[in-house]
Amino acid sequence: MPGDSSRLHINSGGVSKNSFDAIVIGSGISGGWSAKELCGQGLKTLLLERGRNVVHLKDYPTTNMAPWEFAHRGKLPASVSRENPVVSRCYAFDEATSHFFVKDREHPYIQEKPFDWIRGYQVGGKSLIWARQTQRWSAYDFEGPARDGFAVDWPLRYDDIAPWYSYVEKFAGISGNRDGLDTLPDGEFLPAWDMNCVEQEIQQKINLNYPGRHVVQGRCAHLTKPAAVHLEQGRGQCQARSLCYRGCPFGGYFNSNSTTIPWAQRTGNLTLKTESVVHSIIYDESRQRASGVRVIDALTGQATDYFARIIFVNAACLNTNLLLLNSTSARFPRGLGNDSGLLGKYIAFHNYRGTVSAAYPGHEDKYYYGRRPTQAMMPNFRNVKRQETDFLRGYMVHYGAGRSRGGAGPADQIGGAFKDALSEPGAWQVTMMMQGETIPKERSQVRLSADKTDAWGIPQLVISVDYDDNDEKLLKDFLEQGAEMLHKAGCTDIIQHDSKQAPGLDIHEMGGVRMGRDPATSLLNPWNQLHHCPNVYVTDGACMVSTSTQNPSLTYMALTARAADHAVRSLKRGDL
């Protein structure tokens, strides 16, 4: 049987030798936070990462390379793109960053419907290559499913998580303005980046023409002015290099490698094991608790059991679903905690298909400085306080303006005149993009393959996730509203574009192990514990009930810190 642990040679090494207070599976954004919080509370913690080690500073091989130092000037050879059709579609995958991405052939999965699964298997996970946009969710986001009658009701509200947003913001370092919007709550901010002159002008015109819409500067996990805690972490000010995906030698942006994992290591309570593929979580029938995890050495194939009182699953959304589905026992034949049969179902994501671009006349005597790591943005203005359209929920808008290269150069793309023209800035261009909320549906799901396994005998994941009519209506509305807003802002040559990209390239997959109050309709309780196996916590994207229109990573961090605090208090009370 695929994934059957009876095929594995188990080297337990003895229960006492391989026992810890806590085990954390995955070292990305949420896993790093789990390790930091648990170690900081005195728990001897084992952090398991299926990929290789990446040490901050030491393992950023391209971070200071100039374009001419790359064999292909940063571009991917055609052979690499052909061999990796999925990951090659990711905006951040190029010659300078390819070592931080999973290659298609090495970790296959089954697309029952088109889905571009972007992964990073190394210490730090995708926190090395994320886009670093960080917004709090609003009260409307946590109330949305109950109000609009989809998914299930979130078992918590904004006020429950607000203190934890503050807690993680202060440590991670988030830049932004205090804008006073109920749709985009303010946080604990470092100074914000500045909009350029065209972005400011568009902001003023949109705000004037649309009183209910608010253009603000984006919020991002970059140190514009490091606080004492960031200097203590060994991090420095963001240099606005726009080379973040290579790994930042200044620690200017937040990732696990520069921040939470070193903080956990300094306690002396962390054991980090790399090249450790978690096969399954071991369930103790007599105690009705998880007792540990089975790990396969990625290089040798040898299996080892590790034991702990609590387990945090932070393998990233779809891998967390895969792991729990593969964690079967007599008590849980359909996957750990899966009495409801909902494990792997109600997967959702963000709809990124729509963009609107335009030219902006004038301001030819002005330019801008630096390479700002965030754009201007507009929180959702559709169906916020009541249902107003023929589609559910809404979308956030991001936009930015800049000057193209080339000026008014010659038509011939060759010669001295052409090279001279490249040194002169061209006209101002504006690009606007959508980040649309999608509705979790039972048919959008993942399951284990019955006959195909990976290199370690674990079933491959079958992904069956797609768009629906609601997504198409939401996309149409954005394209129309985006074009109208840019027109009223004074833009010309407006072009609407539907990328028709498959789900997955947003890299914001959520759900499958959703939270809730009722074990019949959810997998996790309000503290991110499995209803039927309470010493297992899930705090990555898999736990999400809905997607909001905001970016999700800050919410993962806050939920993780909150859950870790609950786990430690429960251990001290003897509840776990």
The model's pLDDT over 15-27, given as tens digits with 9 standing for 90+, comes to 778 999 999 999 9
Q: How far is CA 281 from CA 25, 284, 312, 484, in A?
A: 10, 10, 11, 52
pLDDT tens digit sequence for 178-218: 999 999 999 999 999 999 999 999 999 999 999 999 999 99
The alpha carbons of the chain give a radius of gyration, in whole angstroms, of 24
Mean pLDDT of 156-183: 98
Mean pLDDT of 41-50: 98
- pLDDT bin (cut points 50, 70, 90) of residue 12 is low
Among 66-70, 389-393, 415-419, the range scoring the smallest mean pLDDT is 415-419
Quote the CA–CA distance of 503 and 436 in Å, as a whole number. 12
Please, which residues have CB within 8 angstroms of residue 100's CB and are 6 or more apart in sequence? 54, 120, 122, 128, 129, 245, 247
DSSP-assigned beta bridge partners for residue 399? 376, 432
Pair 225, 237: CB distance under 8 Å: yes
Q: Which helix (H) or strand (E) holds 148?
A: helix 139-148
Q: Please determine, for residue 6, whether its predicted confidence score (pLDDT) is greater than 60.
A: no
Pairing of strands 19-25, 303-313: parallel
pLDDT tens digit sequence for 363-378: 999 998 888 999 999 9
- pLDDT bin (cut points 50, 70, 90) of residue 53 is very high
pLDDT tens digit sequence for 490-544: 999 999 999 999 999 999 999 999 999 999 999 999 999 999 999 999 999 999 9
Q: Please determine, for residue 336, whether its predicted confidence score (pLDDT) is greater than 60.
A: yes
Quote the CA–CA distance of 322 and 447 in Å, as a whole number. 7
- pLDDT bin (cut points 50, 70, 90) of residue 13 is low
- Give 410 or 143, the one with higher predicted confidence: 143
Mean pLDDT of 437-452: 98
Q: How far is CA 278 from CA 47, 165, 322, 323, in A?
A: 11, 30, 10, 7
Give the pLDDT of residue 424: 83
Give the pLDDT of residue 17: 85
Q: Please determine, for residue 2, whether its predicted confidence score (pLDDT) is greater than 80.
A: no
Give the pLDDT of residue 408: 60
Look up the pTM and report it. 0.95
The per-residue pLDDT of the chain, averaged, comes to 95
Give the pLDDT of residue 407: 62
**Taking the chain, what is the end-to-end CA distance rounded to the nearest angstrom?**
33
Quote the CA–CA distance of 277 and 210 in Å, as a whole number. 51
Give the pLDDT of residue 531: 98
Q: Please determine, for residue 148, whether its predicted confidence score (pLDDT) is greater than 50.
A: yes
Q: Please determine, for residue 406, whether its predicted confidence score (pLDDT) is greater than 80.
A: no
Give the pLDDT of residue 190: 98
Q: Phi first, then psi: what are they for 515, rounded to 5°?
A: -80, 165
Give the pLDDT of residue 573: 94
Quote the CA–CA distance of 37 and 40 in Å, as a whole number. 5
Pair 478, 436: CB distance under 8 Å: yes
pLDDT tens digit sequence for 228-242: 999 999 999 999 999
In this structure, the number of other CB atoms found within 10 A of the CB of residue 525 comes to: 19
C-alpha angle with apex 43: 39 to 45, nearest 5 degrees? 70
- Number of alpha helices (DSSP H) and beta strands (DSSP E) in the chain: 11, 22
Pairing of strands 174-175, 189-190: parallel
Strands (E), 314-371: 345-348, 350-351, 354-360
Tokens (6 digits) for 103: 């290659």
Quote the CA–CA distance of 72 and 106 in Å, as a whole number. 23
Give the pLDDT of residue 410: 60
Q: Please determine, for residue 14, whether its predicted confidence score (pLDDT) is greater than 70.
A: no
- pLDDT bin (cut points 50, 70, 90) of residue 441 is very high
pLDDT tens digit sequence for 240-294: 999 999 999 999 999 999 999 999 999 999 999 999 999 999 999 999 999 999 9
Q: Please determine, for residue 326, whether its predicted confidence score (pLDDT) is greater than 50.
A: yes
Q: How far is CA 469 from CA 52, 446, 472, in A?
A: 41, 21, 5
- pLDDT bin (cut points 50, 70, 90) of residue 8 is very low
Quote the CA–CA distance of 529 and 24 in Å, as a whole number. 14
Quote the CA–CA distance of 278 and 416 in Å, as a whole number. 58
Pairing of strands 303-313, 289-297: antiparallel
Q: Please determine, for residue 4, whether its predicted confidence score (pLDDT) is greater than 50.
A: no
